[in-house]
Structure 1
Amino acid sequence: MSVSYDKLWKLIIDKKINKTQLRDCSGITSATLARLSKNQGVSLEALERICRALDCEIGDIVEFIEDKVILDE
């Protein structure tokens, strides 16, 4: 399974803030923001900070994507 933060990027657009403002208001690090931008895993604490800053639930910012398995025949 892969993780996607597309919902997060849509939400900050809707709230009219940019990534730098998200970093500042949530207290996450630049490294965490970079990991989010690359759809890499981040700590639950970082996701909690973002949810508090944006007044949302975790399902509003993260989505798990099923990996496609290709079987050789």
Structure 2
Amino acid sequence: MAVRYNKLWKILIDKKMKKKDLQEAAHITHYQMMKLARDENITTEIIGRICKALGCTPDEIMEFYDE
């Protein structure tokens, strides 16, 4: 099972935010942003920070799919 963050990028576009804006708002590192960009796994703590910063739930920023 793999993960995609396409929904996250759509939310950023809708909110007219850049990745750097999200990084600062959610207090996450550049390395963690790179993992998101590559659709790699991140911790639930980071997902929680992103959701809090954007005012959304995990299912609104990510989706799972079979490889």
**Range class of TM-score, shorter chain:** over 0.9
Percent sequence identity over matched residues?
39
| TM-score, length basis structure 1 | 0.89
Please identify which structure carries the higher helix content.
2
In structure 1, the residue matched to 2:52 is 52
Compute the RMSD of aligned alpha carbons: 0.5
Structure 1 stretches of 4+ moved >3 Å: none
In structure 1, the residue matched to 2:8 is 8
> What is the count of residue pairs matched by the alignment?
67
Q: Report the residue type matching 2:65 in the other structure.
A: I
Flag structure 1 segments of 5+ consecutive residues without an equivalent: 68-73
Flag structure 2 segments of 5+ consecutive residues without an equivalent: none
For 2:29 and 2:50, the matched residues in 1 are separated by 11
In structure 1, the residue matched to 2:23 is 23
Residues 44-67 of structure 1, C-alpha deviation per residue, up to 9 Å, x if partnerless?
A: 000000000000000000100122
| TM-score, length basis structure 2 | 0.97
